[in-house]
Amino acid sequence: MSWIKDYRLTADLDEAAELLARPDERWAVFGGGSRLVARKPPEVERLVDLLPLGLDRIEDGDDGALRLGARVRLQTLADRKDRDGLLRAASLSLAHSVNLRNQMTLAGETAWPIVLSELQTALVALDARVHRHALAPTRVADYLAESPRVGIITAVELPAARGWRFGFHALRAASAARPQLVLAAGVELVDGRIKAARLVYGRFGERPQRALGLERRLVGEAPAPLGLGTLEGDLRDGLAPFDDPGVDAASKWDGAAALVDEFLATCRGASGP
């Protein structure tokens, strides 16, 4: 890190925001070793460290919500089993070592603009909210659409999930460490039927995309595989970026159908919270 010209340890978010807003000084929040390495100079020249703020806590809300501090490490998420282990599966799918996951933070992975981020896909499926200093909470899907992504993330909040079932499924090439396509999915079950669904696909080079056509197809149905073989017609609604002609069908429409059937098979017969 010989290119770093200044380093500040602060317990004041206003001070951190002021530093980050300074033109031409290239300040960045120090919040994950891998992200610092990836953002090589001249993009980062100065670091502001928010360690004294204690943003590494996980707090349960009275209503079943879960608040994850910005500096929660990915290994901590990999050790959790709530929400049917969705965050655990997404964190482990990143194919990083334990040592690297112990450096990487929730905020760093959420803000990181280079996709595919399996964790970002999972957060959209969970309908998470991003909390930023001096800004109103934002749905993570809307936050990911921002360009550039602004503000200091202080926490990511997961809403209550009673009645929901979640799953994480990935399509991988035999020689690839990272998946070609991932599905982070959730369905709300009432009396054995799907009341609501969030099916979110992630693929390298794209933001997570909700499969709106598939979601509409599932509402009112029992959770069972569709047996489609491939996605066609209205079922592709919401997945326009998958039209990239450079991606073969096996990792696109056929793969997308296979992953949703994998998820629905795990939900069959589920009706609990």
Of 98, 129, 158, which marks where a domain is finished?
158
Domain count, the chain: 3
**Pair 133, 150 in one domain:** yes
Instruction: Give residue-wise pLDDT tens across range 110-127.
Output: 887 766 689 999 999 999
The answer as to whether 272 is a domain residue is: no
Any domain includes 273:
no
Residues 151 and 193 in one domain: no
User: Given this model, what pLDDT does residue 205 score?
Assistant: 75
Residues 131 and 204 in one domain: no
Query: Last residue of a domain, which of 120, 137, 158?
Result: 158
Indicate which CATH number applies to the domain containing 141: 3.30.465.10
Predicted pLDDT at 142: 96
Rounded to a whole number of angstroms, the CA Rg of the chain reads: 19
Q: From 251, 247, 214, select the one nearest 232 (Cα to Cα).
A: 214
Q: Is residue 126 part of a domain?
A: yes
Kindly report the CATH number assigned to the domain that includes residue 202: 3.30.390.50
Torsion sign, CA atoms 203, 209, 211, 215: positive
> Do 106 and 176 belong together in one domain?
no
Judge if the upstream peptide bond of residue 42 is cis by omega within 30 degrees of 0: yes
List, for the chain, all residue ranges whose pLDDT scores fall below the cut of 50: 33-34, 36-38, 271-273
Same domain, 17 and 46: yes
pLDDT at 174: 74
pLDDT of residue 180: 84
Do 263 and 168 share a domain, yes or no? yes
Query: Is residue 1 one of the residues assigned to a domain?
Result: no
Q: Is residue 129 part of a domain?
A: yes
- Long-range residue pairs from 142-150, CB within 8 A, at least 24 positions apart, any chain: 143/110, 144/120, 144/207, 144/208, 145/207, 148/113, 149/111, 149/113
Instruction: State which of 97, 127, 158 marks the end of a domain.
Output: 158
| Domain contains 91 | yes
Considering the domain architecture, whether residues 174 and 237 belong to the same structural domain is answered as yes
Q: Within this chain, do residues 261 and 217 fall inside the same structural domain, yes or no?
A: yes
Tell whether 177 and 95 lie within a shared domain.
Answer: no
Residues 125 and 90 in one domain: yes
214 assigned to some structural domain: yes
- Distance from C-alpha of 181 to C-alpha of 175, rounded to nearest angstrom: 14
Amino acid at 29: V
193 domain-assigned: yes
Query: What per-residue confidence (pLDDT) applies to 204?
Result: 78
Quick one: pLDDT at residue 68?
97
Question: Do 195 and 154 have their domain in common?
Answer: no
Residues 186 and 152 in one domain: no
For helices 86-93 and 118-125, angle between their N-to-C axes, nearest 10 degrees? 160
Which residues have C-beta within 8 Å of that of residue 250, sequence separation ≥ 6?
none
Cis peptide bond prior to 159, omega within 30° of 0: no
Residue with tokens 């969970």: 126
Domain that holds residue 17: 6-50
- Write out the two tokens for 120: 């970002």
b or e along 142-157 (b: 16 or more beta carbons within 10 Å of the residue's beta carbon)? ebbeeeebebbbbbbb
What CA–CA distance (Å, rounded) separates 183 from 111? 20
